[in-house]
């Protein structure tokens, strides 16, 4: 039986709450990656971006699943989605020259603040 805030892993090792957060954050980064690869795939018409999309999607979901073993689903999922959303928005600006007007950037920044606030409230 694992202690509170931990999870007994597949190999018998214990996953702590900090490790669960690492999984969620890494999964959120892969979520942003799959969103950007999806755009690059042009509707799944380009092979390598489509392959990158599928690989990042699987990694993202596996990491989310591992993180949710020790975190409440509402918190873990919200943080994962928020990281992916902010990451995809920043990637869109950097890679595709998407707009940076305040009416777009302020709500994205608020999502980022909400993600940090939510994660700190759970720790």
Number of H helices, E strands in the chain: 4, 2
Q: What is the pLDDT along the chain (123 residues), one digit of tens a residue?
A: 455 555 555 555 567 899 999 999 999 999 999 999 999 999 999 999 999 999 999 999 999 999 999 999 999 999 999 999 999 999 999 999 999 999 999 999 999 999 999 999 876
Residue at 2 is within a domain: no
Residue at 117 is within a domain: yes
Q: Coil, strand or helix: which one is 7? A: strand
The domain tally of the chain equals: 1
Residue at 45 is within a domain: yes
pLDDT at residue 81, rounded to an integer: 97
pLDDT at residue 44, rounded to an integer: 97
Which range marks the domain in which residue 59 is found? 10-122
pLDDT at residue 7, rounded to an integer: 52
Residue at 3 is within a domain: no
Residue at 15 is within a domain: yes
Q: What is the DSSP letter of 71?
A: S
């Amino acid at each position: 039986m694992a202690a509170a805030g931990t999870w007994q892993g597949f190999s018998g090792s214990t996953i702590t709450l900090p490790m669960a957060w690492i999984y969620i954050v890494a999964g959120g980064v892969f979520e942003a990656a799959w969103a950007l690869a999806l755009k690059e795939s042009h509707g799944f018409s380009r092979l390598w971006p489509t392959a990158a999309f599928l690989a990042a999607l699987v990694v993202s979901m596996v990491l989310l699943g591992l993180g949710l073993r020790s975190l409440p689903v509402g918190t873990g999922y919200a943080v994962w989605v928020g990281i992916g959303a902010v990451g995809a928005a920043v990637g869109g600006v950097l890679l595709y020259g998407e707009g940076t007007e305040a009416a777009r950037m302020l709500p994205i920044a608020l999502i980022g603040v909400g993600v940090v606030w939510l994660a700190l409230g759970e720790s």
